[in-house]
Amino acid sequence: MPPTRSTILQIQKTLEKVCGPTSRHEAETILQFVLNCTRSDLYSSPAFSVIPDEMLLSVEGIIAKRLADDPLPYILGSVYFFSKDILLTRDVLIPRTETEVLVETVLKREHSEELSFADIGTGSGAIAAILLKERPQWYGLATDISRKALAVARQNVSGHISFACVDMFGAFKPGSERFDFIVSNPPYVSEAEMAHLDNSVIQFEPHSALYGGIDGMDFYRILAADAGNVLKPGGRMYCEIGCDQGAKVSDIFEFQGWSSVEVRNDLAGRPRVVTACQSFEESNPF
């Protein structure tokens, strides 16, 4: 039974070729999964100071898949996002740390006790899951064109939530639904960028959740043009963007008559979230 600490270092060294600076974190995550323990347990609990021999085969199997570029969250079937473990299958995009900025923005700006929102293109349901975990009195509608994605989302989201298999706003009748705000992390990778994605992304993650059209702007054009039909007067929009898309996405919303269009940066100082209001008032609703 090898010592846990030396096993972590060995896994870290093995994984450096595929995940570089995150190899230590992935090594710890693999052992936490196999041993069913916390990160603190790995370093401080005598019960987890060595790796049982029968568990080494599981560790080796995970490493073999990871060395083939298979993303660790898919291998383990879950990923920790914001404040919750999100269950995953290969039918949904892996939630990224950058998307936590989108969630934080909504939680900081929406203060009313009872609000309704639509999560357009929910995928795994990660965004709606966190919003309703942090604001259990809110009501959400999670939509996606993929029935398989919605099956995953249903496992992750609890609370006052409904689900609909629709293509953006195609099944909504104007005025039939009225939400206080819309949140969306739409596909935004351009055709040129698709060719340069990391192999672990292009080979394993669903293309429909990535590709945003030739210029990556297709879904923002739909959001800007049609979201107002399902929002209450003065309703708000929150959407994630690519790190070089702030100006383009802002222009799209401003062209469609949205006001108070703003870009918020992520922790690395890169544009990551666009917010806007379906209102022509000069005062900032945020």
Q: What is the 3 state secondary structure string of 52-94? A: CHHHHHHHHHHHHHHHCCCCHHHHHCEEEECCEEEECCCCCCC
Could you read off the pLDDT of 183-210 as tens digits, one per residue?
Answer: 999 999 999 999 999 989 999 999 999 9
Q: 91-277 has which fold?
A: Rossmann fold (3.40.50)
Query: What's the confidence (pLDDT) of residue 284?
Result: 55
Q: pLDDT at residue 286 above 80?
A: no
In this prediction, residue 283 has a pLDDT band, given cuts at 50, 70 and 90, of: very low
Query: What's the confidence (pLDDT) of residue 53?
Result: 87
8 Å CB contact between 38 and 85: no
Query: What's the confidence (pLDDT) of residue 172?
Result: 77
In this prediction, residue 282 has a pLDDT band, given cuts at 50, 70 and 90, of: very low
pTM (predicted TM-score): 0.92
In this prediction, residue 222 has a pLDDT band, given cuts at 50, 70 and 90, of: very high
**Which of 149, 275, 156 has its CA nearest to residue 140?**
156
The helix/strand/coil state of 240 is strand
- Name the amino acid, one letter, at 43: Y
